[in-house]
Amino acid sequence: MLHVQLGRDARGVVGVAARCVCGNPTVVATAPRLPDGTPFPTFYYLTHPAATAAMSRLEAEHVMRELQDELAADEQLQEGYRRAHEAYLADRALYGDVPEIDGVSAGGMPTRVKCLHALAGHALAAGPGVNPVGDAALARADWSPRRCACADPGPAGVAA
């Protein structure tokens, strides 16, 4: 299924971190060093085509800039985002230490909003309340993890 979702072979996958309600992968966890030796900081990788498309639409609508402005103005949000960064690094560290990406998480954490795909992937994998910016992106999306939008639903559900 990952090959179908990505349109290529998946690289360095160590597990499925979140699933669609139908059972198909939504987010995969990826080794911090790919099989070819390349450092890969994006531990949580959004694979679900509808989720990916939704984040792309938000980025095209300049939601990253809006979320960056919210982050700059809200100390509580900044603290939550810093904790999300630390949680991301801790999760990835369970799969190896890669000095080249030490302290680097994904999506611009802990100070910038750079990639909604990465932030939504983290929010989906970690659950609500862990990554407040990822949660905010998911809340603004026209895709929901509570409804299957898969072209080929898995055995646990059917397309909505």
155 occurs within a structural domain = no
Pairing of β 25-30 and β 13-19: antiparallel
Count of the separate structural domains present in the chain? 1
Write down the pLDDT at residue 160.
39
Residue 159 lies in a domain: no
Asked if residue 150 is part of any domain, the answer here is no
pLDDT digit of tens for each residue in the chain (160 aa)? 887 788 888 899 999 999 999 999 999 999 999 999 999 999 999 999 999 999 999 999 999 999 999 999 999 999 999 999 999 999 999 999 999 999 999 999 999 999 999 999 999 999 999 999 999 999 999 999 999 998 888 776 544 3
pLDDT of residue 159: 43
Residue 156: what pLDDT? 67
C-alpha span between 107 and 128 (Å, rounded): 17
**Which burial class, exposed, middle or buried, applies to 70 when counting CB atoms under 10 A from its CB (0-12, 13-18, 19+)?**
middle
Q: Which letter, b or e, does each residue of 40-51 get, where b requires 16 or more Cβ atoms within 10 Å of its Cβ?
A: bbbbbbbbbbbb
158 domain residue, yes or no = no
125, with CB counted inside 10 A (0-12, 13-18, 19+), is: buried
Is 134 inside any structural domain? yes
Q: How many helices (H) and strands (E) does the chain have?
A: 6, 3
Helix pair angle (116-126, 49-60), 10° resolution: 130
Residue ranges making up the domain that contains 120: 1-140
pLDDT at position 3 is: 78
Residue 67 CA to residue 136 CA, distance in Å, equals 8
In a domain, 156, yes or no: no
